């Protein structure tokens, strides 16, 4: 009898344990792995590894380019207790509060979940949307600055798959819904490293966002500054808010590096 079988007797679900082991096979030093590498690291046959990886891919926890596999930010959804254990929101919160105080605007952070963004941290200054935003609030990624930053960092195939399956709803008359136009905008966002959305999620709401990269160089979370269109010209976001936003993102990255994330 294996150690696994004897550990918990009839209450032990070996397939579930192996699925978790497949997730744990990825780390900072090994953010992308082949099927063979996963099999070796977990210690299970390649056929079993393939089934676990394909299941995780179907559920949105793993992405692949056909050869290499990698985790997606959706693993954070396995539980906010796990997210807290990573200290990501807690670690980011002082930086977001500092930025919000400096700009006197609302500041948020979000991760990607399928075709939506999910808020994981927020510092509101005043209500500028008709819908209240709290931790866990979801919005369509295509109409948000943080969503465009997160989607733009995906590999081309994964991005195409996401856009093909997404409901590119026209939330206002300004919302980009054409896949071709959206792809062109995502390319621009990826090249410049930030995104600005003006009235596409809700008329009168503007936001500018950038990504925070982990040790593997991939965007793990997006941060943004939101403001009302009545606060001033849209150029103000680029000239005044963007430099401080980019500085905040780099400070968060430095903390992630120190924590080994």
- The per-residue DSSP string of 28-60 comes to SS-SEEEHHHHHHHHTS-HHHHHHHHHHHHHTT
**Per-residue pLDDT at 84 exceeds 60:** no
Q: Which CATH architecture is the domain 86-260 placed in?
A: 2-Layer Sandwich (3.30)
Q: Contact 206/59 with Cβ under 8 angstroms?
A: no
Question: What is the 8-class DSSP label of residue 215?
Answer: T
Phi and psi for 12 in degrees, rounded to 5? -85, 125
180-225 residue pLDDT tens: 999 999 999 999 999 999 999 999 999 999 999 988 899 999 999 9
Alpha-carbon span 241 to 245, nearest angstrom? 6
Return the number of other C-beta atoms located less than 10 Å from residue 80's C-beta: 13
- Of the candidates 97, 113, 2, the residue with the CA atom closest to the CA atom of residue 63: 113
85-139 residue pLDDT tens: 556 788 899 999 999 999 999 999 999 998 999 999 999 986 666 667 888 899 9
* CA distances from residue 60 to 70, 88, 183, 207 in whole angstroms, order as listed: 11, 21, 21, 27
Phi and psi for 228 in degrees, rounded to 5? -90, 145
Q: Contact 221/120 with Cβ under 8 angstroms?
A: yes
Alpha-carbon span 182 to 193, nearest angstrom? 16
pTM of the model: 0.68
Question: What is the 8-class DSSP label of residue 238?
Answer: I
Return the number of other C-beta atoms located less than 10 Å from residue 1's C-beta: 7
Alpha-carbon span 208 to 67, nearest angstrom? 35
**Per-residue pLDDT at 1 exceeds 50:** no
Those residues whose C-beta lies under 8 Å from the C-beta of residue 151, and which sit 6 or more positions away, are 112, 141, 142, 159, 162, 163, 186
Return the number of other C-beta atoms located less than 10 Å from residue 4's C-beta: 13
Mean pLDDT over each residue of the chain, to the nearest integer: 88
**What are the start and end residues of each CATH 3.30.450.40 domain in the chain?**
86-260
- Assign 68 a pLDDT band (cuts: 50, 70, 90): very high
Mean pLDDT, residues 47-72? 92
**Positive/negative CA dihedral, 189, 195, 198, 203:** positive
Q: Which two tokens stand for residue 244?
A: 């401080």
Alpha-carbon span 164 to 185, nearest angstrom? 16
Mean pLDDT, residues 22-42? 91
Is the domain spanning 14-74 CATH 3.30.565.10? The answer is no
Alpha-carbon span 212 to 87, nearest angstrom? 15
Alpha-carbon span 169 to 77, nearest angstrom? 24
**What are the start and end residues of each CATH 1.10.10.10 domain in the chain?**
14-74
Alpha-carbon span 115 to 214, nearest angstrom? 21
């Amino acid at each position: 009898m294996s150690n696994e079988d004897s550990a918990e007797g009839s209450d032990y679900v070996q397939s579930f344990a192996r699925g978790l082991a497949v997730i744990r096979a990825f780390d900072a030093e090994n953010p992308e792995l082949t099927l063979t590498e996963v099999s070796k690291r977990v210690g299970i046959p390649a056929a079993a590894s393939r089934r676990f990886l394909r299941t995780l891919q179907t559920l949105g926890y793993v992405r692949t380019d056909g050869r290499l596999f990698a985790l997606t930010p959706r693993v954070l959804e396995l539980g906010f207790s796990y997210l807290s254990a990573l200290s990501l929101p807690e670690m980011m919160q002082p930086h977001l509060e500092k930025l919000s105080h400096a700009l006197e605007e609302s500041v948020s952070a979000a991760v990607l979940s399928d075709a939506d963004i999910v808020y994981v941290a927020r510092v509101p200054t005043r209500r500028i949307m008709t819908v209240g935003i709290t931790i866990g609030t979801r919005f369509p990624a295509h109409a948000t600055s943080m969503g465009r930053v997160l989607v733009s960092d995906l590999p081309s195939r994964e991005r195409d798959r996401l856009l093909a399956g997404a409901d590119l709803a026209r939330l206002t008359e300004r919302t980009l819904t054409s896949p071709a136009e959206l792809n062109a905008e995502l390319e621009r966002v990826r090249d410049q490293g930030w995104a600005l959305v003006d009235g596409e999620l809700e008329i009168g709401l503007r936001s500018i966002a950038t990504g925070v990269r982990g040790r593997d160089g991939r965007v793990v979370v997006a941060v943004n500054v939101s403001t009302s269109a009545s606060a001033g010209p849209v150029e103000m976001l680029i000239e005044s808010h963007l430099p401080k936003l980019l500085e905040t993102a780099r400070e968060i990255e430095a903390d992630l590096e120190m924590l080994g994330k």
